[in-house]
């Protein structure tokens, strides 16, 4: 279990959204947290890959390899 204190304005916005959509505030908090964690994890993966000295491929070369050239 996790308890979070939200600023008043943020809580009001969340309450309004929950009421308008007939969803719980918990639903939206879980969705927002899931999206945030997904983004952060993807960001860390990208940074890790950039730190490795793997060869880079240009956009033009990628298009050629995928037969996407005009």
The pTM score is 0.69
35/45 Cα distance (integer angstroms):
15
Per-residue pLDDT at 70 exceeds 70: no
Average pLDDT, the chain: 94
The model's confidence at residue 34, banded by pLDDT at 50, 70 and 90, is very high
pLDDT tens digits for 3-19?
Answer: 999 999 999 999 999 99
Mean pLDDT in residue range 48-68? 88
Mean pLDDT in residue range 28-34? 98
The residue behind tokens 């879980």 is 30
Contact status, residue 31 vs residue 25, Cβ threshold 8 Å: no
Contact status, residue 38 vs residue 30, Cβ threshold 8 Å: no
């Amino acid at each position: 279990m996790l308890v979070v204190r939200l600023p008043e304005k943020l809580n009001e916005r969340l309450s309004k959204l929950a009421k308008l959509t007939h969803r719980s505030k918990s639903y939206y908090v879980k969705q927002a947290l899931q999206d945030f964690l997904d983004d952060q994890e993807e960001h860390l993966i990208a940074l890790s890959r950039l730190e490795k000295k793997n060869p880079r491929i240009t956009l033009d070369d990628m298009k050629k390899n995928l037969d996407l050239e005009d």
